[in-house]
Chains A and B, each alone.
Chain A
Amino acid sequence: NAGVTQTPKFQVLKTGQSMTLQCAQDMNHNSMYWYRQDPGMGLRLIYYSASEGTTDKGEVPNGYNVSRLNKREFSLRLESAAPSQTSVYFCASSPGTSGSYNEQFFGPGTRLTVL
């Protein structure tokens, strides 16, 4: 049981390049999330998927797109990378979004640098 896995662990891009960050969970969770972590700002939600087939914008969605490929996988795409997108990206999952709180489980992160 690997929990939440993310690939790649590190990536360096040039301005204008595109890439996709991959995330997968093996806990049969319904909900998945993408956050970015910047120094002094905590984690900010980019997009989330409450259930398979749905996606919604979070706090900072501009410059990103997501795909909930199936129940296990939730990818984050940067179409034209900018230096402002240099950050550490975390994927998380939780059993659901309704009822009492469901703990979010985090992956190890992807460190992205855009030159």
Chain B
Amino acid sequence: GNSVTQMEGPVTLSEEAFLTINCTYTATGYPSLFWYVQYPGEGLQLLLKATKADDKGSNKGFEATYRKETTSFHLEKGSVQVSDSAVYFCALRTIQGAQKLVFGQGTRLTINP
């Protein structure tokens, strides 16, 4: 079946540090891949997406590249800010899934000033 595995959290970094949150997936066919962010007390928001191999999604300084050969979609940011503190979810969608998203378990990120 389809599944998403994220690195275990929580992750704590200092402001301006480099961030990587690992995400790997298992899926039939060629899924679309997404990163969602959940700020405290809020619902999920789409952060970025990639719909085919080698695509790079980017938004708000975050980037992730769809790597088919390693079935990965790692999230990166060069210099994090306190305001980036949130829970990050990697997710996939397959054509067979009819817009249904399969989520990873989430990674809680805390940035200290």
Contact = CB atoms under 8 A, between A and B. Distances in A.
A72 interface: no
Given A43-B89, A101-B99, A109 B43 contact: yes
A96 B4 CA distance: 23
A101 B106 contact: no
Contact of B93 (A42, A58, A92, A101): A101
Given A48-B100, A103-B46, A107-B43, A42 B105 contact: yes
Interface in A61-115: 90, 92, 94, 96-97, 100-104, 106-109
Interface size class of A (residues with CB under 8 A): 20 to 34
A90 B100 contact: no
A113 B44 CA distance: 21
Contacts of B103: 42-44
B41 interface: yes
A96 B98 CA distance: 9
B51 interface: yes
Interface residues of B, number: 20
Interface string B68-95: 0000000000000000000001000100
Given A42-B103, A43-B103, A97 B98 contact: yes
A108 B46 contact: no
B99 A100 contact: no
Contacts of B93: 101
Contact of A108 (B41, B98, B105): B41
Interface of B: 4, 32, 41-46, 49, 51, 89, 93, 98-101, 103-106
